[in-house]
Amino acid sequence: MKEEVSFEAVKEIFTDYLKEHKHRKTPERYAILERINAFEGHFNAEVLYNIMLKDYRVSLATVYNTLELLLDCKLIIKHQLGGQFAQYEKAFGNNTHNHLICTSCGKVKEFTDKQLRISIQSRKFAHFYSTHYTLYLYGLCHKCKAKLKNTES
């Protein structure tokens, strides 16, 4: 299924995309991609912005703008989870994992399951070739579950 992609290859995809769509190849955009590459797990724009600020001067608008570009060329995934902030994660070099989503606060946890992975990856479909997958399980996180209990009693 998902093959390992080097960061050089990832940058090349981004460069090709920027050229093709006549966007400027600014150092800020590559710096943002680099931080995303180094980041494990999910992040939102604010989190990424704060990581950038440690050693790079960008505006929050540039972060949002670059996230849109990276989404468009499919280097990152956006999770629509109904929380306050959209959450992103890189679409390259990530291990296959699934998501537990709290329907109350939008918090996401990841989990992997070898048995699930084997059964999904060995599944054959007529006229369809799967490349990767993720599962979303919805429910309540520990905190929200506890809150619910308190309001009930």
Binding residues for Zn ion (CB under 5 A): 89, 102, 104-105, 107, 110, 141, 144
- In the bound state with Zn ion, the residue whose beta carbon lies nearer, of 47 and 144, is 144
Name the residue with tokens 């059964």.
Answer: 119
Ramachandran area for residue 19 (φ above 0: left; ψ -120 to 50: alpha; else beta): alpha
- In the bound state with Zn ion, the residue whose beta carbon lies nearer, of 62 and 104, is 104
Closest listed residue to residue 26, CA positions, set 61, 54, 50: 61
- In the bound state with Zn ion, the residue whose beta carbon lies nearer, of 34 and 110, is 110
Q: CA-CA distance, 42 to 61, in Å (whole number)?
A: 20
CB of 55 to Zn ion, least distance (A): 26
CB of 114 to Zn ion, least distance (A): 17
Q: CA-CA distance, 151 to 153, in Å (whole number)?
A: 6
CB of 2 to Zn ion, least distance (A): 13
CB of 11 to Zn ion, least distance (A): 22
